Amino acid sequence: MEKFLKFPISGSTYQLVSITGVIIVEQTAATTTTIQYAAGNSAGDILTITHASVANDDFRDFVQNQIEAALSTAWTKPVYTVTPPVAVSGIALA
C-alpha cells in the first residue's frame, strides 16, 4: 500500500512525499528535516525538507505524527494533505 504526504510549498504548489519505506525522520537543523528511506544499498535515499526555523525537534515530531495519521487512513486514501506549523520552502531527494 503506497501512502503519500501532500506538502504545500511556499510560492509554488504541492509536493507529494512517499512514506513507504521510511526508516527514520530527523530534524538536522532548525530549518531542515530529513526522511531516510530503506534502499537496496546501505545508504538509502534521504529526502530533505527545508522549512522556516523551528526550535527543538518540533518539525520532526510534526512529520512523524503526520506519517502515523496517514497510515491510519483507509487504503483507498493514498494521499494525506498536511498543514505544516511553518512554511516549507523546498523538498529535495538525494
pLDDT, one tens digit for every residue, the chain (94 residues) = 799 999 999 988 999 999 999 999 999 999 999 999 987 665 679 999 999 999 899 999 999 999 999 999 999 999 999 999 999 999 999 8
The CB density around residue 20, as the number of other CB atoms within 10 Å, is 12
Q: Residue 51 is inside which H or E element, if any?
A: strand 45-51
Range of the structural domain that residue 61 is part of: 4-93
Strand 14-18: give its sheet, edge to edge: 14-18, 4-8, 79-81
pLDDT at 40: 62
pTM for the whole thing? 0.91
Number of domain units in the chain: 1
